[in-house]
Structures are given as structure tokens and as C-alpha cells.
Structure 1
């Protein structure tokens, strides 16, 4: 007999999931250039080649280059 599919549920203490798959959805690589970072403005994870550093609120943050809107349009194509 086949097992019935289990749904992800939060355990009563609220700290753990039942049947949640482990690991990260982002690639892990020892090569720093292959890593992803999130854009400070839109929050999407992108490869470092699509990010630039920009000074916002008195600190340097990584943001999409040339802009979040242009990269979103490129992804949609």
C-alpha cells in the first residue's frame, strides 16, 4: 500500500516543522562569485553579477544592477 502524502505542519511548540525537507533553496558553492545575495530594495536573491553596491540610508547595500525593474523584465522573457 502507498503511504498517504503528509502535509507540512508546525509542531505545537512552534519551533519545528513536521516532514519539512532540510537544506537551503539557494546554491552552496565554495566559489564566492557563484553565491547569491538578496537585493536590499526588492529582496530577491540574485547572483552577484547582477548586483551592485549602492549607498542607502548611510550604509552600503547590495541592489539589483541596473535596476530591479529591468532585471524583472529580463527574467520574464
Structure 2
């Protein structure tokens, strides 16, 4: 959940500061591309102003965009 007024993103497990969430370990329809869907969802985050990252696990991080860039670059 993004609180744009306060510059905070409550990311849950979607964006974590030190690890990558588990992607694609659940049953999916044939042809589903869970990793591609996850990467697409990360790009959607960058369409909003940068915000302080408040994850479900780990420390608060000053820039959600920085962490998203790291996740996207790691492939």
C-alpha cells in the first residue's frame, strides 16, 4: 500500500530489503509466467514517486526505487 502523502510504501513481502520473495512455487495455469508477472509488478512501483520502503521483514529502507532497481538487475 502506497501512502503518497507521507512518502511511504508498505510493501509486505512484495519488495524486501535483503532477499527476493519466493516466486512461482504455487500451482499456476499452463503458460503462466510468474517471474515475468513479478518483474512487471516491480516496474509498476516505479511509476509512482519514490517512497520509503516499509517491508514485512527486514529494516526500513529510504528508497523503494533503489531496491526495485536492484531486484530487476539481479534477473
Which structure is higher in RCO with an 8 Å CA cutoff and minimum separation 6?
A: 2
TM value normalised by structure 1: 0.21
More strand by share: 1
From the two aligned structures, give the one with the greater helix fraction: 2
